[in-house]
Amino acid sequence: MAATSSPGTSGGKAPTVYDVADRASVSIATVSRVLRTPDAVRETTRERVMTAVRDLGYVPSGNARALAGRRTGVIGLCFPGHDGLDGEDPRDETTRDPRPAMTLRGGVRIVDDRRPGPAPAMRNLYFDEVLRGAEVEAWRRGFALMVAAGRGPSREVIVNDIAGRVDGLAVLARTVSDDLLAHVARRIPVVVLADATRTDGFDHVSVDNAAGMQALTTHVVTTLGVRDVVYVAGPQDSPDEAERRRGFLAALAAAGVAPEAVPVLRGDFRGDRAFEAVTRLLRERTPRALVCANDQSALGALDAVRAGGLSVPGDVLVTGFDGIDVSRFTEPPLTTVAQPMAELGRAAVRAIVDRLAQPQAPRLDTRLPVEVLLRESCPPTL
């Protein structure tokens, strides 16, 4: 992204839908269809229109923005396609094997649902906390909060659409392309959540993932002296995963454990995938410790260990990362790295409001602290 202007600022007259139509040699009705229902437009036409949108820096206008010089009073929060939002819900009948009803009672199916696996309610609790913090801070600052989530090809359309309805936008890192964020930032402030490793010109709010995971792993491999460790990783494109993996490897190196000797399972921050990966592992061998990249994965790992007839922490130690509330009530309670998820949402809203007040201020990079919570799944001593 070019560093010629501050985030959320722009010079000259804002482009209109008529400018886009003229540049793409289509009607304004076609532009509208591309922005609202892209699948209903031929690919060549859709690409021509979206190229014009990007070249001109056009952002669709919300009703409130039509009043010259006025703000919408709304802040946007966008979590497109992350942490299971694009994944299958294990309780969705369209994505799992149909379960035969044991009986029908008053027209209601009675189903034996005792199959082992992670509880669907455990998913996306990270975003619940971030959203709660953002809502509270937006209300305190006199703003409403608009939340959007998109999948696949519709992601660019959804981000463009919400950008035209809000005064600023907070986006989870790596879920939206740099080009699209740069396009949106020509009109409104953009804050990126959960990635402190980039110098892209946007304001950033993140937590100290590497230090937290290094401290937790050091407890496992140094304080407890465990060498038979397996790492349950997050998505490959996640900046949080990259930082947590870095902290994990640093702790191994400091303890004299060869990183290449430590198996890595793919949990993708999802309980169901971690459950499947750990179940496969336990058919072959039982590691002494499972260090999971987030709490959802750790919850799936706990379920897999129990389903395999093993105990935690007696046979296997299990740790997580995030500190979601439910981690205190698992059996046994989960050792984890607690990050201030609600504060992450609040800090993002504050960053947007501050940017609206001072468009020319230096780029903001907020790093929030974390803490290791030792509980029964991986106690202070063995």
Distant-in-sequence, close-in-space partners of 351: CB < 8 Å, separation ≥ 6: 170, 189, 191, 203, 205, 364, 366
Q: CA separation (Å) from 286 to 267, 275, 303?
A: 17, 14, 14
pTM of the model: 0.73
Q: Please write the tens of the pLDDT for every residue from 135-168.
A: 999 998 888 999 887 655 566 777 877 888 899 9
Tell me the mean pLDDT in the region 206-223: 96
Greater confidence (106 vs 220) lies with: 220
**157-171, 290-304, 306-320, 327-341: which range is least confident on average?**
157-171
Q: Please write the tens of the pLDDT for every residue from 55-90.
A: 888 877 654 444 444 578 899 998 755 444 334 443
Tell whether the model's pLDDT for residue 254 goes beyond 80: yes
Q: What percent of the chain has pLDDT over 90?
A: 53
Rounded to whole angstroms, how far apart are CA atoms 371 and 212?
7
pLDDT of residue 160: 77
pLDDT of residue 95: 43
Rounded to whole angstroms, how far apart are CA atoms 371 and 111?
42
Tell whether the model's pLDDT for residue 97 goes beyond 90: no
Annotated domain spans of the chain: 209-340
CATH topology of domain 209-340: Rossmann fold (3.40.50)
Q: Please write the tens of the pLDDT for every residue from 215-247.
A: 999 999 999 999 999 999 999 988 899 999 999
Greater confidence (307 vs 62) lies with: 307
The confidence band for 319, taking pLDDT boundaries of 50, 70 and 90, is very high
Instruction: Say which amino acid occupies 286.
Output: T
